[in-house]
Amino acid sequence: MKLFEHEAKDVFRAFGMPTPPGGVARTPEEAKKQAEEVGKPVVVKAQVLAGKRGKAGGVKLADNPEEAKKHAEAILAMRINDLPVEAVLVEQKLDIQQEIYAGVTVDRNERKYVIIGSAVGGMSIEELAEESPEKIIKQYVDPDIGLHPFEARSMAIAMGFRGKYINKLAGFFLKLWEIVRAYDVELTEINPLILTADGRFLAADARLNIDDNALYRHRKMVDELQREPVEQNERERLATQEGMAYVELDGDIACICNGAGLTMATLDAVYLYGGNASTFLDLGGGANAERVEKGIEVAIKYDKVKAILINIMGGITRCDEVANGIVSAKRDGNITVPFVIRMVGTNEKEGQEILAKAGIPFLKTMEEAAQKVVSIVQEGA
């Protein structure tokens, strides 16, 4: 379960972690009122469960309440990562001396938590890890033992802090660890954690993701938030309603298959031949024609998709049913992107005959299909 920034900051403050003064607003008038209460220049931030809000225009500076109202009006009309912005957080603009990164997540390979810190905050930690990995400090934590104060202080020192700042920064790492233990957290981060010109540390941002499997232990929080644990865009909701496994990626080739293993292998084949997938869509076992058509409908709603690769291994899923679903989707849907199809197994011959009759080409191997779809996309680029 992902918490909005203002919800995460409520948790942070409950654990004694300082944050900038301000409050949440759901209308432009409320944003103006919050700015008046702050009484200083403010930052107006979109409250949406998506990253890179700043790049999308969802974070604006305002020198006065009227400007805050104007920015809030614009931001509340936005969609970021296809999610509507229904609230903004209005907070005091800070006098920043340094931006820092602090976070905790799970390292499944090590079977431990890992505390992550960097003296260079305010940017994506993934980008920083790629460009300057030496600037990232890590401390692995055995969940049965926890984070020791001396380990938190060692991190602060390794990040380049000295004197009174060591214990102050170590305190943030220790409080983050307390929150992780208390709420079964999968990921929490402050980016940026601000060191102000007058020597204070403040959590200028807050991210908190709670393990869905542990929500039964936190029913009070879920009830107070009064919303579903998972926020999804329209495509994700449609796929969930149909019982399909659906994940959006950064490429431009939608991969529709039956079975998680086959779908993963198809993504790998696309990458092997120089392409990138936009969509992982597993129809599941026994998919009928209607389900196949629904899967295609979901896939083409994603505006990154330039081609669709359908790769089916017929077992309990029958190839003739898949073919009928493809033909129906092509006939009834407003589909402008090309298809590449490979299907083998149960009723393979019948399925291929249905496709051939409809004038839809098909290939016999996954490798051929992956090469074909990549070439189509590259030629059309």
Q: What positions carry a catalytic annotation?
A: 101, 189
End-to-end CA distance of the chain: 38
Amino acid at position 48, single letter: V
Q: Under a CB-based contact definition with an 8 Å cutoff, are residues 287 and 322 in contact? A: yes
CA distances from 364 to 161, 283, 345, 367 (A): 61, 20, 11, 9
- Helix residue ranges, H only, the chain: 5-14, 28-38, 65-76, 125-131, 149-158, 164-183, 219-225, 234-241, 260-272, 289-300, 319-332, 348-357, 366-380
**Cα radius of gyration rounded to whole Å, the chain:** 25
Q: Are residues 81 and 50 in contact, defined by beta-carbon separation less than 8 angstroms?
A: yes
Q: What is the rounded distance in angstroms from the CA atom of residue 265 to the CA atom of residue 281?
A: 12
Question: CA-to-CA distance for 139 and 155, rounded, in angstroms?
Answer: 7
Rounded Cα distance between 378 and 57, Å, is 31
